[in-house]
């Protein structure tokens, strides 16, 4: 009887496994883009997705259609993949194209920010403070500080980018920001620190005209039949909605939209029976107009505190000044 033979191939220098082959390909594509890629191609790439047409995109970036077609073909040769495909109404990115377009957008944004920094420097802004923030932190920790900060530092150019922690944290770690205002990230490199500044909790908000807006001592069950506005998927209030609201109201109804845009939220809350679970930190300002009101619902829903993340090695003086003014202005618990 013949002994059984193991036909599997052990990865080696001559026969690398899937991870090794992927890494090698990534290095090859990176090398080609660095050596032969052009920023103009990235601008065109973004424009083609936005316009859905090479002709319209070429006009947007001041190129001829033939030059645009050639530039895209060259970019596809560099990465070795098709980036766009035709359909009945024009052209759209392939899966690989969507990935590259997303990254190209970030490159274009960074270039635009760099241009703004240089222009601000030329016109008198001798220093810059680069800040990333989630919506709640931007609303409660940054916006109230700006008047006092600019009264003391009128020549500082502040570059504020608002997004999710998942998108902002890599930029912070890579040196794109001086600080990020957010809730405590799940993981931080050893040379970064999170400092809490403001305690927070989730509340339920509705229009002042909502039938339950003047009633006291409500339970979650009283909201059976309400129509919920969903917070964005990547924020903590969405997690609380799923763990608290859906546990009590498994048949809850909601709008086919998720957002943290305050103007959109306030508009939707004027719809009949509309409610939302939001951080108190954001809701306080929204209720100031009198159009919205906190529902008196028994809800134990603490949120992680809002605070700031920055490097333990590079916390510039301007950031320290900004944080000092912010802490002085906060009425909630401070650390």
Q: Taking the domains of the chain in order of start, what are their residue ranges?
A: 18-105, 109-198+307-329, 200-304
Average pLDDT over the chain reads 84
The separation between the first and the last C-alpha atoms of the chain, rounded to the nearest angstrom, is 75
DSSP state of 242: I
> Tokens representing 58?
């070429």
pLDDT at 122: 60
Comparing CA positions, the residue from 307, 112, 43, 277 lying closest to residue 199 is 307
* pLDDT of 285 above 90: no
User: Which CATH superfamily is 109-198+307-329 part of?
Assistant: Periplasmic binding protein-like II (3.40.190.10)
- The pLDDT tens digits for 127-156 are 788 899 998 899 899 999 999 999 998 888
Specify whether the CB–CB gap between 297 and 228 falls below 8 A: no
The DSSP string of 127-180 is EEEEEEE-HHHIIIIIGGGHHHHHHH-TTEEEEEEE--HHHHHHHHHTTS-SEE
> Tokens representing 240?
């609380």
Which pLDDT band, with edges at 50, 70 and 90, does 6 fall under? very low
Q: How many CB atoms sit inside 10 A of residue 149's CB?
A: 20
* pLDDT of 331 above 70: no
pLDDT at 228: 95
Same CATH topology for 109-198+307-329 and 200-304: the answer is yes
* pLDDT of 306 above 90: yes
Is the pTM higher than 0.95? The answer reads: no
| Burial (0-12, 13-18, 19+ Cβ within 10 Å), 49 | buried
Stretch 105-124: mean pLDDT: 68
106 to 43, 46, 116, 147, 264: CA distances (angstroms): 11, 10, 15, 29, 25
Residue % of the chain over a pLDDT of 70 = 88
Which pLDDT band, with edges at 50, 70 and 90, does 215 fall under? very high
pLDDT at 118: 67
Distance of alpha carbon 84 from alpha carbon 197, whole angstroms: 46
Which pLDDT band, with edges at 50, 70 and 90, does 197 fall under? very high
Stretch 298-317: mean pLDDT: 87
Higher local confidence (pLDDT), 20 or 264: 264
* pLDDT of 226 above 60: yes
Q: Which CATH code is given to the segment(s) 200-304?
A: 3.40.190.10
Phi and psi of 230, rounded to 5°? -85, 130
User: Which option is the CATH number for 18-105: 1.10.540.10, 3.40.50.880, 1.10.10.10, 3.40.605.10?
Assistant: 1.10.10.10
């Amino acid at each position: 009887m013949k002994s059984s033979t193991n036909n599997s191939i052990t990865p080696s220098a001559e026969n690398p496994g899937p991870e090794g082959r992927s890494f090698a390909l990534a290095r090859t594509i990176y090398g080609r883009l660095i050596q032969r890629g052009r920023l103009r191609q990235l601008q065109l790439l973004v424009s083609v997705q936005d316009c859905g047409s090479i002709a319209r995109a070429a006009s947007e970036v001041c190129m001829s259609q033939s030059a645009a077609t050639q530039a895209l073909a060259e970019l596809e040769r560099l990465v070795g993949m098709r980036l766009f495909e035709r359909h009945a109404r024009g052209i759209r990115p392939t899966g690989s194209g969507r990935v590259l377009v997303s990254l190209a957008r970030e490159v274009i944004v960074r270039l635009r920010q760099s241009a703004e920094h240089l222009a601000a420097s030329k016109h008198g802004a001798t220093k810059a403070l680069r800040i990333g923030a989630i919506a709640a932190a931007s609303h409660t920790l940054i916006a109230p500080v700006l008047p006092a900060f600019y009264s003391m530092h009128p020549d500082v150019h502040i570059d504020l980018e608002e997004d999710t922690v998942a998108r902002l944290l890599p930029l912070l770690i890579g040196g794109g920001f001086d600080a990020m205002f957010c809730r405590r990230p799940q993981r931080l490199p050893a040379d970064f620190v999170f400092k809490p500044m403001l305690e927070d909790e989730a509340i339920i908000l509705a229009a002042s005209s909502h039938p339950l807006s003047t009633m006291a001592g409500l339970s979650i069950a009283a909201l059976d039949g309400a129509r919920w506005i969903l917070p964005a998927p990547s924020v903590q209030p969405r997690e609380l909605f799923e763990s608290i609201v859906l546990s009590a109201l498994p048949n809850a109804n909601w709008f086919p939209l998720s957002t943290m845009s305050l103007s959109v939220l306030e508009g939707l809350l004027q719809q009949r029976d509309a409610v939302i679970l939001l951080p108190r930190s954001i809701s306080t300002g929204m209720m100031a107009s009198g159009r919205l009101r906190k529902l008196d619902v028994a809800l134990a829903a603490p949120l992680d505190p809002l605070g700031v993340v920055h490097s333990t090695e590079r916390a510039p003086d301007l950031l320290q000044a900004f944080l000092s003014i912010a802490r002085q202005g906060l009425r909630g618990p401070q650390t």
